[in-house]
Every structure is written in structure tokens, then in C-alpha cells.
Amino acid sequence: MRIIGIDPGLRITGWGIVDAEGSRLVHVGHGTVTSDDRAALSERLRSLYDGLYEVVARYNPGGAAVEQTFVNANAASALKLGHARAVALLVPAQTGLTVAEYEPSVVKKALTGSGRADKAQVAAMVARLLPGIDRTARADAYDALAVAICHAHHGATRSGWAAQAR
């Protein structure tokens, strides 16, 4: 199954695509979608929507996962991030995909074994699990790949449980 992982952000939204073939993961693509800080919120959201829609249309994933985000410090920033997250949930849902959501600690634990791993540890595991990946990619793209990998692991677990129940 081809999975898109999305790390939502208003300025930079990361995306990553992996193919999960049993327990084998294959890197398909990754990148970021950006919006102009000087533009109106509606235009920024449209930029994110258009960019993510293009990625979904190009790669045609069969599943989607979005990282849940938490911002405590500034209510206005949290609200803006919530808008970006809504776009990240909407685009795959509009194409008929079921969208899973994962807390950052769950993503970190799925990749490193620790829910408190730092970004460098997560990026190192992404690079290890997806050999040949461009190590100069933005952290947002690595985070999105981590979300996709997490979903692949959790999806395999759910499939195993369903098979045992039958």
C-alpha cells in the first residue's frame, strides 16, 4: 500500500510517500509545500491545499496519516496551525482516503522505541529504514516520512489483528 504522511504547518507542510510491501518499506518521494508569510491567511491555506492536492494526485496513495500538533504557548499560533492541519486532513479525505492521526510521541516511539526521541534520532531512523534517501531534505519532510512509516507499522498490526479475529 502506498501511504502519504503529512506534517502540517502553516508556513511549511512536510509530505512523505512510502510503499509498504509487507514489512518492507520503499521510499517513493518527499518534500514540502510552503505558503507566503506575507499573504492573507486564506491565500496561505489555498497554497497549502493546492500543493498537497497536487502531491496526492501525482502519487495516488492508498492511505494517509497526519501528525497531530500541539501548541500551548500562543493561542493565535495554535489556531493558525489548526487551520493548516485542517487542510492536511481535508485534501486526502476529499480524494476518498481514510486519514489516520498520530500523536508525535507515537510516531517517535514507532521509529525509535522512545516517545521522547529528538528530531535527529527520528531523522536517523528514517534514513536507516529508507536507504538512499536525500539526507539534505528539510526536517518537515523527514517528519512526514516518519508519520507514513508509523502508519505502515500500525496498519500492519491492525491487519494482523483482523486476520487473527477471522
Catalytic pick from 21, 43, 67, 103?
67
**Known active-site residue 36:** no
Catalytic pick from 7, 103, 118, 143?
7
The three three-digit cell numbers of residue 4, written as one number: 502519504
Is 7 flagged in the annotation as binding?
yes
Report CA-CA distances (Å) from 124 to 20, 95, 106, 108, 121: 19, 32, 17, 12, 5
For the packed helices 139-165 and 104-112, what is the interaxial angle rounded to 10 degrees?
Answer: 80
Catalytic pick from 101, 118, 140, 143?
140
**Known active-site residue 67:** yes
Is 140 flagged in the annotation as binding?
yes
Q: If you ran DSSP here, which 8-state letter would residue 100 be given?
A: E
**Known active-site residue 7:** yes
Q: Residue positions in the annotated binding site for Mg(2+)?
A: 7, 67, 140
- Sequence ranges of the binding site: 7, 67, 140
Active site (catalytic) residues: 7, 67, 140
